[in-house]
A and B are shown apart, each in its own frame.
Chain A
Amino acid sequence: MSDQATSFVRNDMLPPKEPPSSQVGVVKWARENLFGGWLSTVLTLLSIAAIVYIVWHLFPWFANGVWNADSLTQCREILNGATGACWAVIRVNWLQLVFGFYPPELYWRPILAFVLLFVAIAPVLFPSVPRKLLWFSGLYPFLAVWLLWGGTVWAPVLTLAGFVLGYLVLMAAGSLGTVIATGLTIAVPVLFWLFALGPLDDFLQGVIPLEIEPVASRDFGGFMISVVIGVAGIALSLPLGILFALGRQSTMPIIKWISVVFIEFIRGVPLITLLFTASLLLNYFLPPGTNFDLILRVIIMVTLFATAYMAEVIRGGLAALPKGQYEAADALGLDYWKAQRLIIMPQALKISIPGIVNTFIGLFKDTTLVVFIGILDPIGRASAIRATSDWQGIYWELFLFIGAVFWIFCFSMSRYSMHLERRLKTDHR
């Protein structure tokens, strides 16, 4: 065989040929992603046409924007017939859009409260932040209330003292059994707030007067009011939502019945009717002569509203837990609250995180409805601005601005929830 001439073909492999130009790079990508069939082609062309059209019309409007003017008429004079945005309306009014009528010399207080808000929620949001900061998170609500509304420092301090008192009672009464301990933990602080708070406040204020200038709620406005209502609603609705979710899952018929009626009632009516209840009817339901802050009433109503939704979200998380988890907790001899705290809730809350964050986003967007009961939130400020003779007839600029701010808040919340979902998923495996 060896002398036979082998037909020699080649010693080395040919280098692979370049794929045809239609199979590489931009062309391939475009073929697959833009022109992969007649329908896709049509859609692509339509989309491009739409984008070009929109950019063509909007670009000059943005590019010609006028930033320095005192009125719309002046804007138009500067533009001299060209299309262009009159951003001056934002520049002139933006302090009012952000703070409402809050006294300008005190702007540092809401700003500080806002910055501290991030410090306070950091340990909740990001696990890499030292746990010790959680102490600050617990203190933050009282600090924020004091900073925003001002007044004597003793009222928030004493309110906080009530909580500490409750905790001490819980520790001390632990040996008396769950029911008594829980009862005492609720009763003692409430009694403290009711009867000891006022006199103690006056006394301490007399001894060590620590006071910053008080600001009335009606001076709050703009985005500040949205954030205040939103954050308060979020912070209060989560614990309440957990309670109602547990109530609805409870084996005790009366507790369950109360929770179901509450949740279904709130979910069945529009938020706006609840807000009108806060502004029109609450005074019928309270003892004659009592009258408290409109913003506080709104926060209560918004919280109740979010609570019902939160309860349903958490109930979903509870229902998704295998029954074995409950049984295991029982088998370990844990009492109800311990089982909830150590076994059930950590898992159920983890499952419900996307829903919880969605509820938060919805709540934050819903704060815009307060404009209907006369609170000057950004939309309320915007209509007031549009009513002045200087800015009559302007709307796109204002609503774009307001929409953009809301978008930034809500979008970052939803991104955070996605991030959280991914992180918890890997934890799980």
Chain B
Amino acid sequence: MATDSGAPTGSFRLSMLLYDSRYRSLTIQVFAFFVLMFGAAWLVYNTKTNLEALGKPFGFDFLFNTSGYDIAQRPIEYSSQSTHLRAAMVGLLNTLILAVMACVTATVLGVFAGVLRLSNNWIIARLMTIYIETFRNVPVLIWIIVTSAVMSESMPPPSAFRGADPSASMILWDSVAVTNRGVYIPAPLVEHSLGSLNIPGVQLSLDAIAFLVVVALSIWVNRRVLAHATKVQNATGVRPATWWKSLLILFLPAIVLLYAMGFHLEYPALRGFNFSGGIQMRNSLIAMWIGLSIYTAAFIAEIVRAGIMAISKGQTEAAFALGLQPGKTMRLVILPQALRVIVPPLISQYLNITKNTSLGLAVGYMDLRSTLGGITINQTGRELEGMLLMMLIYLIVSLVISTVMNFYNDRVKLRER
């Protein structure tokens, strides 16, 4: 080893591109960049040649043609006369609806299962272990198909509800009908509608907006009241009773609004071949929802358990030493800390749910993949454009979810000082 110090000086030689660590990384990067560009050019060239050989133009015009097919579950107005673009939007909305539903139930189920697995109760802890190990070690596709098979094979058909002495009957005071075509639940309706807001492409119900605004306002006012009570408590040591104020503020405005709009429930009733009225949750939706929820809940349960176990016992003991009750210990000491461990893996579970909604084609759920990536591609023969667009949409949805959740994660993260 030479002992001289100081940077080597002298003129630049070509070999320095390889041996001098200052230039070497540049060489490698330039090389990598060229390889990448060459690869990309090669792909584009091949695609172009292949498309030309097949006589297919590349373009997204087909999105504006009439789709010609019907979709059963349509959150926005759609018919077979609408465009393929509209069908894709219906599919995207169906994907999102399913994802949100499954995320909520999976979280609830998962938190319960995770906490119960740590319970002192021997039998329930064992049961939860069995649940978790069974569900997470079997492919989700099997759960979805089995749920769908159970729904369609063992629930009564609508015709079983008919006649003087039907073999099946509706449950929950005649408000919910469980059939092998799906579950019919009452639909919330208003008599004096405020109309709807027409943004091109989407119709927003003003009723729902009004309701949400009122609820949001109530919550905000309630927070102010609570903050005020805390302030009084800090100043005087006595906390003014707030529960009745909270109840009043939270519920009264909403009830008044609903009453004014003439809110009522529309119950499903058997008419012709099927039930009509109410909201139909189709078999495909139920199968996807239940299948995804119970499968992902097993993972969330493990995440929750790991999160709680990661908090050292000293925290609980310290909280008890401060005189906090077990409930408050959980709420004020354990959970906020556990949440930091729980949230990051929870984000990836939510992403997994969103991506797994694409398994809808196993049960005929009309999600983005089945509309844009399925029937549209098949009827128009535009695989390349359809697949690219679909991937792009999934990518955007994933990125949005992870951005939002990472924002939340930053908020609960430990502030290091």
Contact = CB atoms under 8 A, between A and B. Distances in A.
Q: Do chains A and B touch in the complex (CB under 8 A)?
A: yes
Contacts of A361: 137
B141 interface: yes
Contact of A399 (B49, B116, B146, B384): B146
B27 A372 contact: no
A177 B18 contact: yes
A270 B355 contact: yes
Contacts of B390: 273
A16 interface: no
B171 interface: no
B86 to A, nearest CB: 21
A163 interface: no
Contact of B138 (A180, A272, A371, A406): A406
B332 interface: no
A44 B373 contact: no
A255 interface: yes
Interface in B192-247: none
A213 interface: no
A250 B138 CA distance: 37
Contact of B373 (A273, A379, A396): A273
Interface residues of A, number: 59
Interface residues of B, number: 58
B358 to A, nearest CB: 4
Grouping DSSP codes into helix (H, G, I), strand (E, B) and loop, the B interface class, with mixed when no group exceeds half, is helix
B358 A48 contact: no
Interface in A221-276: 251-255, 258, 264-265, 267-273, 276
Contacts of A253: 29
Contact of B391 (A32, A51, A273, A371): A273
B170 interface: no
A90 interface: no
Contacts of A284: 46-47, 50-51, 383-384
Contact of B356 (A29, A270, A285, A393): A270
Contacts of A368: 139, 141-142
A280 interface: yes
Contacts of B43: 285
A219 interface: no
B387 A252 contact: no
Most buried by B among A253, A264, A269: A269
Given A268-B399, A361-B137, A407-B134, A47 B29 contact: no
A33 interface: yes
Given A180-B18, A252-B25, A267 B398 contact: yes
Contact of B123 (A44, A251, A269, A410): A44
B137 A270 contact: no
B64 interface: no
Given A33-B122, A393-B153, A288 B46 contact: yes
A27 interface: no
A68 interface: no
Nearest to A180: B18
A59 interface: no
A84 to B, nearest CB: 16
Nearest to A413: B137
A231 to B, nearest CB: 16
A372 B383 contact: no
Contact of A47 (B28, B124, B134, B394): B124
A201 interface: no
A276 B373 contact: yes
A403 B142 contact: yes
A287 B383 CA distance: 17
Contacts of A177: 18-19
A138 interface: no
Given A40-B121, A269-B395, A406-B138, A281 B387 contact: yes
B119 interface: yes
Contacts of A50: 127
Interface in A263-313: 264-265, 267-273, 276-277, 280-281, 283-288
Given A43-B124, A276-B373, A399-B145, A269 B359 contact: no
B46 A33 contact: no
B33 A254 contact: yes
A369 B373 contact: no
A302 to B, nearest CB: 13
A287 B120 CA distance: 63
Given A34-B122, A253-B29, A273 B358 contact: yes
B142 A406 contact: yes
Contact of B141 (A270, A277, A369): A369
Q: Which 9 A-B pairs have the closest CB atoms?
A: A33-B122, A410-B137, A268-B398, A270-B355, A270-B358, A268-B395, A365-B139, A254-B29, A368-B139
Given A33-B122, A179-B28, A269-B391, 19 more contacts: A29-B122, A34-B121, A43-B116, A43-B124, A47-B124, A51-B127, A179-B27, A252-B32, A264-B399, A273-B358, A284-B46, A284-B50, A285-B43, A288-B50, A365-B140, A395-B153, A403-B138, A406-B139, A411-B133
Interface of A: 29, 32-34, 36, 40, 43-44, 47-48, 50-51, 177, 179-180, 251-255, 258, 264-265, 267-273, 276-277, 280-281, 283-288, 361, 365-366, 368-369, 371-372, 379, 393, 395-396, 399, 402-403, 406-407, 410-411, 414
18 contacts: A29-B122, A36-B121, A40-B119, A44-B123, A47-B124, A48-B123, A252-B29, A253-B29, A255-B32, A276-B387, A277-B391, A285-B47, A287-B46, A365-B138, A395-B149, A396-B149, A403-B139, A406-B139
